[in-house]
Amino acid sequence: AGCGGKDDAGSGKDDGKLVLGFSQVGAESGWRTANTNSIQTAAADAGIELKFSDAQGKQEKQIEAIRSFITQKVDVIAFSPVVTSGWDSVLKDAKDAGIPVILTDRAVDSQDKSLYKTFLGSDFVKEGTEAGNWLVKQNEGKTTPVNVVELQGTVGAAPAIDRQKGFAEAIKANPNITVVKSQSGNFTRAEGKTVMEGILQSTPKIDVLYAHNDDMGLGAIEAIEAAGKKPGKDITIITVDAVKDGMTALADGKINFIVECSPLLGPQLMDLAKKVHAGETVEPRILTEETTFTQEQAKAALPDRKY
Ligand code: AHR
């Protein structure tokens, strides 16, 4: 380890490696798997010792992992918070222990910004806005009602809150577009499917499905097909992420539009970990670069898609 000095087990020698404790949300989606791979690969490439902990979607487990990192005196702690609230106490403990914290991918709602050094990740509100803007554009000049079903991410998670917000704001531009149903599918394919099955039965007219991630959209596609409808034709589908399975469905015409959310945060995270450990000042907010994909763009991008 660095300045603090962490010994090799029993050897009494310091191997000089920076030790990063990382608490991951879980393995709920293709995006998350790609994110975990990016972090693990980047740590190895940067010569950083990574203590990786999977919270299985539970905030209690994340808090437990962070406390354990503090006890182990890691050099830097990074985590992707399952939900936005309830972090002040454990973050204060990390601060009191002199361990810098980096928020990765998702934000917390703590008022005290000194509890963490920086937040690296996407602008989720913008992602929702992009999704809504595309739909508004598709319906330009039309006066027929457009019924939208929204599959939300995990309740209380930053991407679920923000993607709903951005989308709701954007569709205000066309009063004919209405969200007729909004329900959480917890960012998973399985829940996306079961929730959509229920919605298909209870909602007579569905024109559009807006899913907060590809996986829920892909689960919903199974439900739509099982109900005898054509995804991408009978129901227009918009999702967020642009992982390979989502991009394949987009290229195949089953999804109509995807807003990209990049999971490849590993290299930037390692760079930031080194900087905060060295006591350097870093930008408090570092935004990920992202784009959007139509069906044609997905066809062109797929051969080089890494995840
Ligand atoms: O926080 C990022 C979101 O979490 C991704 O969009 C989603 O797929 C994941 O589970």
pLDDT score for 15: 77
pLDDT tens digits for range 89-144: 999 999 999 999 999 999 999 999 999 999 999 999 999 999 999 999 999 999 99
pLDDT score for 11: 40
**Residue 261, SS3 per DSSP:** coil
Tokens standing for residue 60: 């209690």
Burial 224-238 (b: 16+ CB within 10 A, else e): beeeeeebbeebbbb
For ligand 1, say whether the CB of 48 is within 6 Å of any of its atoms: no
86: left (phi over 0), alpha (psi -120 to 50) or beta: left
Name the pLDDT band for 7 (thresholds 50, 70, 90). very low
- Give, in order, the Cα–Cα distances in Å from 76 to each of 102, 122, 225, 248, 286: 8, 21, 47, 37, 17
What is the share, in percent, of the chain residues with pLDDT greater than 70? Answer: 95
Q: How far, in Å, from the CA of 28 to the mean position of ligand 1?
A: 8
Q: Which residues pair with 305 in a beta bridge?
A: none
Q: How far apart are the first and last CA of the chain?
A: 32
pLDDT score for 14: 61
Separation between Cα atoms, residue 303 and residue 307, nearest integer Å: 11
For ligand 1, say whether the CB of 124 is within 6 Å of any of its atoms: no
pLDDT surpassing 80 at residue 8: no
With the most atoms of ligand 1 within 8 angstroms of its CB, the residue from 127, 189, 241 to mutate is 241
Q: At what angle do helices 189-202 and 214-226 cross, to 10 degrees?
A: 50
pLDDT tens digits for range 176-198: 999 999 999 999 999 999 999 99
Among 258, 243, 255, which residue's Cα sits nearest to residue 293? Answer: 258
List the Cα angle 189/206/228 in 5-degree steps. Answer: 70
Give me the chain's average pLDDT, please.
95
Name the pLDDT band for 304 (thresholds 50, 70, 90). very high
* Residue 176 CB neighbours (<10 A): 13
For ligand 1, say whether the CB of 307 is within 6 Å of any of its atoms: no
Long-range contacts, 202-205 (Cβ 8 Å, 24+): 203/147, 203/149, 205/147
pLDDT tens digits for range 69-81: 999 999 999 999 9
DSSP state of 57: T
pLDDT score for 73: 98
pLDDT score for 4: 40
pLDDT surpassing 90 at residue 247: yes
Please report the ipTM that was assigned to this predicted complex: 0.99
With the most atoms of ligand 1 within 8 angstroms of its CB, the residue from 23, 24, 25, 152 to mutate is 25
